[in-house]
Amino acid sequence: MRLLIDAQLPPRLAHRLRELGHEAIHVADVGLAEASDAVVWKAAVDREAVLVTKDQDFAIAKAVRGDGPSVIWIRIGNTSNEVLIARLINSLGAIAEAFARGDTIVEVVAK
């Protein structure tokens, strides 16, 4: 899976996803750590990447507009980076199944 990791998520998440064979990059790695939502959205489109974010605005934009990147919306709340990364990694199978069904927004929630 090709993934663009948004600024409020740890850069370590992109590194871990790459270790698992995914093409993942954090916005900070491409000079977009301070970029506007519109610029991040366009970067995901240009890279043909799924946007991984905690920002509800991206999920709403995808739902309203319909176009643009698919979105993995992390809704775990305040937790350690280790717990957040583990939760997303453990959800990758379900996320892939959701995208295969045609879903374009997938929520990852706390268990």
- DSSP characters over 60-86: HHHHHH--S--EEEEE--S--HHHHHH
The shares of helix, strand and coil residues in the chain, as percent rounded to the nearest 5, are 50, 20, 30
Domain housing 98: 2-109
- Cα–Cα distance, 80 to 58 (Å, whole number): 23
The per-residue pLDDT for 110 is 84
pTM here is 0.95
Give the number of domains in the chain: 1
The distance of Cα 73 from the centroid of its chain, to the nearest Å, equals 6
The per-residue pLDDT for 78 is 87
pLDDT less than 50: residues of the chain? none
The per-residue pLDDT for 91 is 96
**Polymer length of the chain:** 111
